[in-house]
Amino acid sequence: MRLASPIMPSACDSPIEDIEDMVSFNDPTPHERQSSRKSIIPRSRKNKELLSNEELQADSLIPGTQKIWMKTWGCSHNNSDGEYMAGQLASSGYKMTDDPTEADLWLLNSCTVKNPAEDHFRNSIKKAQEQQKKVVVAGCVPQAQPRMDYLKGLSIIGVQQIDRVVEVVDEAVKGHSVRLLGQKKDGGRRLGGARLDLPKIRKNPLIEIISINTGCLNACTYCKTKHARGDLASYPIEELAERARQSFQEGVCEIWLTSEDTGAYGRDIGTDLPTLLWRLVEEIPEGAMLRLGMTNPPYILEHLEEMAKILNHPRVYAFLHVPVQSASDSVLMDMKREYCIDDFRRVVDFLKERVPGVTIATDIICGFPGETEEDFQATVDLVKCYRFPSLFINQFYPRPGTPAAKMEQVPAHVKKQRTKELSQLFHSYNPYDHKVGERQNVLVTEESFDAQYYVAHNKFYEQVLVPKRSEFKGKMIEVDIYEAGKHFLKGRPAEDSKPFTPSIAAPLEKGAVSGLMQVISHRHTHLKVCIWVHLNI
């Protein structure tokens, strides 16, 4: 570790590439700081008067005394990263707040998939600066393009460095600019990322999001996420099984598996997705459910037989997200998607035959460079054929630095018209009408946006709205379907049926830190000296 000269006031204005650059010879190393942080055991204060006096005397620049507002854009992988960062900050003493105006620091966790998402991210940075807030940025945008002008002088947490969020925020509070963008490796092999057993605050205490790998094996010409997440790096099966086990011990009743491409899981460590799924099924309590994440067609083709068996398992949703992007082989070739449309059809047809009722969700990009009217009509015909119940329609946005951005673009008005036409087709059919009258078992996990219902999902991960009764939350219940909409079903509890509790423990309170009790127990066992602090959770 190289030595650093003492930090002068002007040092706040220049970015420091790593926290190691900020320590002197006698300072503890980052590893030692993290180890000592693990020696802190949270305990609530009983003497409110004492706490008040201490807060009045506190220096506002003392890290760990501030309020933090966090905003996350993008996929479930990003949301999982956000939950881990919130958990570490809360367990270190920071208070996470839902009110951005009262926060001292904004932690902005970005998505680089589309231009609008980055625009929202950039505007949030500007808004924070106008309000004199400290800012720390994370996610795929700064990881892929850390030298963007609007990121100048800001502290950055790389996508594989979320386990060091407390260190970065500590320094940002002091006015230092810190950037951690390195890759985690072990013996030269790239790791999946930060440890899975870190503290986290689940957005929904009933749902655990587990990243099974990061990065992918593709090189799609339109994709900016690859620049941030890199090549495939998978977590070992037993680490994932242990994370699932801990989640169920904390009252979780539903697990989502996520990554940039779940189908490619394990190819870098000598295993595969079906092997992982069969292992995870062993950990799932009766009545709890597992949802698979997105998988690209090339890597699921060789596992179709096993995947059909797994999707038929009673504790696994019969749901798979398989992005097609276009039904034109010419466009798929220009996208470098590494499959043809017949491959996609084979995946869908096989699963529909072997997994009756299976839900196949897919993505489509309208107006990719070079897309002809004939290419687009092939995509329209595909949607007419399969009538996908879940369809993500995206107008093409050229992302800076990608090969597709340099290709000849389809005129903006044509892209807009094609997006509109496909959206009209999607809204012209109702995929759930035939479900009315069915009796289904559904797992209740959240509240509807309008707060009028609880939201449940049936075996096929179709959204079922049920009466908002407290005894239903986190339970498997039997309902009779009496209404169908474009994106939902409505169900009333079946007579004489009783809610089934899949959880093996009471769920954590909203905002509570996952993994805290295990950490506290471990600290009690091994520490000779304990430092007591107040947690503002």
Is domain 434-506 classified as CATH 2.40.50.140?
yes
pLDDT-above-90 percentage for the chain = 70
Record the tokens describing residue 420, joined without a space: 């509109």
**CA dist., res. 458 & res. 444, Å (int):** 9
Whether residue 22 is predicted with pLDDT greater than 80 in this model: the reply is no
Here the tokens at position 372 are: 């002809």
Residue where the block lists tokens 């000598």: 270
The class (CATH top level) of 67-185 is: alpha beta
Q: How far apart are the C-alpha atoms of 69 and 98, rounded to whole Å? A: 6
Q: Mean pLDDT for the chain?
A: 85
Mapping DSSP to helix (H, G, I), strand (E, B) and coil, where does residue 111 land?
Answer: coil
**Residue 17: partners with Cβ closer than 8 Å, 6 or more residues away:** 179
> Do 251 and 288 contact (CB within 8 A), yes or no?
no
Angle at Cα 87 formed by Cα 98 and Cα 189, nearest 5°? 130
- Count Cβ atoms below 10 Å from residue 260 Cβ, excluding itself: 25
Predicted pLDDT at 113: 81
9: which DSSP letter?
G
- At residue 500, the pLDDT reads 96
C-alpha of 184 from chain center: 19
**Pairing assessment for the beta strands 463-466 and 531-533 based on DSSP bridges:** unpaired
Taking residues 343-359, what's their average pLDDT? 98
pLDDT digits (tens, 9 = 90+) for 65-93: 899 999 999 888 889 999 999 999 999 99
d(CA 115, CA 283): 40
Q: What is the mean pLDDT of residues 110-127?
A: 89
Q: Which stretches of 401-472 are DSSP H helices? A: 412-426
Residue 141 confidence (pLDDT): 87
Q: What is the pLDDT of residue 275?
A: 98
Q: How many CA atoms lie within 13 A of 205 on its CB side?
A: 17
Rg (CA), the chain: 24
SS3 label, residue 264 = helix
Tokens of 58: 């506190």
Please give the pLDDT value at position 4. Answer: 39
| Domain residue limits, the chain | 67-185, 188-428, 434-506
As beta bridge partners, residue 444 has 456
384 — phi, psi (to 5°)? -60, -35
At 40-55, the pLDDT tens digits run 434 444 444 333 333 3
Reply yes or no on whether the pLDDT at 62 is more than 80: no
pLDDT at site 516: 64
| pLDDT at residue 31 is higher than 50 | no
Domains 67-185 and 188-428 share a fold: no
Report the alpha-carbon distance of residue 478 to residue 456 in Å, rounded.
Answer: 11
Q: Which CATH class is domain 188-428?
A: alpha beta
